Structure 1
């Protein structure tokens, strides 16, 4: 039911007072500070820890709904908590691409500290309120919370900004970051270990030393000095063939459009050089496969292999050379 039609005389005053009280609650509870609840964590991180602790095994999408966060922001939050050793992810048997979330021992200890702080804060406030008023307060807050959740504009699908500008060429630290991204991702999806990480780091290091070079380029997405996504085109102008390599996107950026932006830039570079392009990947990586197919690649061959440390089905995708439209830059630059 919508009570707007009652038009009580004091409605404007009620709205103003509720807004003032809401702002005061936000300040008194500490949400204006950079950290919350006696921890060194941001308010959004504290709420994520609380909800994961209350719902062990929760999936990221459900956590996002609870916190009113979009997919990208939820992924970033989970990745940060995982990097701090507070949250662990485990693949779901029913869906290899989905993960359940739970708190580590360190995360559980922090949650207990947060709970103690919040309980003490609320308890101290309630001691100043008569018992009969406490129950009225609970009912009023419950009604207000439910009313706010109806048609909440904060839950509307956000209009995300355009993907951030990419960096080209070698950047200090990028080799270790990219190797780490590969190691963590493929350890979870394919069971690869130290052999694979060493291979990525050594071959990527050799490639980076060759830059700048005709037909070769490295693109990265960097945030706060860390490489969170990458793609490489290793082309040979003499043969007219290019190898797409080291295409990886951190979990915190999945769904943000960064992967597609990287692939678009790489394909513009390939087309500007008139290269045929190929890549190697593994069967079962559906998100990447859809991107490759959309970019014009087609599956050319597949076969089982165990050269990476565990047995997988390797796939080779090929994209035919395309003519460069007149007026486009010859070097594939923007």
Structure 2
């Protein structure tokens, strides 16, 4: 089948439109007002309440980082919340020099009020969209927010990407533990997975690596010195000519480095030379990963709720066939 390229509008026009939409979102969500969500608090204080409620015990420096505030501004906001008896501070059990933040009963009540206000606001807007447009909106906003966050992180840290990271083929000592650790941390945060999931990743990956090298099988690692910071494997059946893309993960320190896309490019060249079809399993809401998969020709084939990983998630199966030339 021929591929027809859809013409894109000039990048400058896209930037102008996104800026206009961003300004409109800021206005419509109420960020230009003196208070937010009928709370009597400034927008930054409202967001501090939300973050402390979501992560009881969070430290002040983390609030500053999440809200993109300088430390002095964050300290003033937290001090005001303490004075209003919405937040309480406790000495950290791990480090006496640090303190943990918690919402008081009044703070919890205010957070519930803020949550209801925001839920009603979003629900009212969604009623004006058909379900298909709702899902498109969620995916697009997730990609946009993630791209903005990546740019902010590069500006904030002023640190160059890892320059000596390299991609290598095949097993390296220690890679199984590193890959299992990367998966465990990422999916604990994004899907609530625990030891059951980490054990499965480690044992299944170890069994796969033990059989390498093998026809139709491949493992690529992103290495920095002796550490593994990323991975991708192709576990295929040459007789059926179907490949399974597995254990694709990249450490956060490599975000924006292009290593994830390079891993995918190598894997796609490999499967196109050996297989008629490639599939992968992922979880709903991982929109940045989905965008990458789709850019390499994967399409959503099925999705269903499952519990096999130790928590209830919506699993998604994506498939890809080599692009026919001409």
Distance 1:53 1:301, change over 3 A: closer
Pairwise CA distance, 1:282: 0.4
**2:301 match:** 300
Q: Is the 8 A contact 1:234 1:245 kept in 2?
A: yes
What secondary structure is seen at the aligned counterpart in 2 of 1:227?
Answer: strand
For residues 187 and 229 of structure 1, the distance between their equivalents in structure 2, rounded to whole angstroms, comes to 17
Cα offsets for 1:35-59 (capped at 9, x unmatched): xxxxxxxxxxxxxxxxx98744123
Q: 1:266 aligned to 2:267?
A: yes
User: For this pair of structures, how many residues does the alignment match?
Assistant: 195
Q: If you compute each CA radius of gyration, which structure gives the higher value, 1 or 2?
A: 1
Question: How far is the alpha carbon of 1:260 from its aligned partner?
Answer: 1.0
Question: Could you tell me how far apart the structure 1 residues matched to 2:217 and 2:67 are?
Answer: 38
Alignment of 1:149-298 (within 5 A): 164-298=165-299
Shift of 1:274: 3.6
Partners of 1:161 and 1:306 in 2: how far apart? 36
Structure 1's 323 and 240: CA in aligned 2 closer, same or farther, altered over 3 A?
A: farther
TM-score, normalized by length of structure 1?
0.52
Cα distance 1:166–1:310, how it changes in 2: closer, same or farther (>3 A)?
same
| Conserved? CA contact 1:163–1:256, under 8 Å | no
Secondary structure (helix, strand or coil) at the match of 1:59 reads: helix
Distance (whole Å) between structure 1 residues aligned to residue 232 and residue 275 of structure 2: 18
Partner residue, 2:316: 315
8 Å CA contact retained: 1:235, 1:275: no
Distance 1:182 1:158 in 2: 25
CA RMSD of aligned residues (A): 3.2
TM-score by length of 2: 0.53
Q: Distance in 2 between the 1:265 and 1:107 partners?
A: 45
Q: Name the structure 2 match of 1:19.
A: none
Give runs of aligned pairs for residues 125-164 of structure 1, distance below 5 A.
164=165
**Counterpart contact for 2:161–2:254, Cα < 8 Å:** no
| 1:163 Cα offset (Å) | 8.6
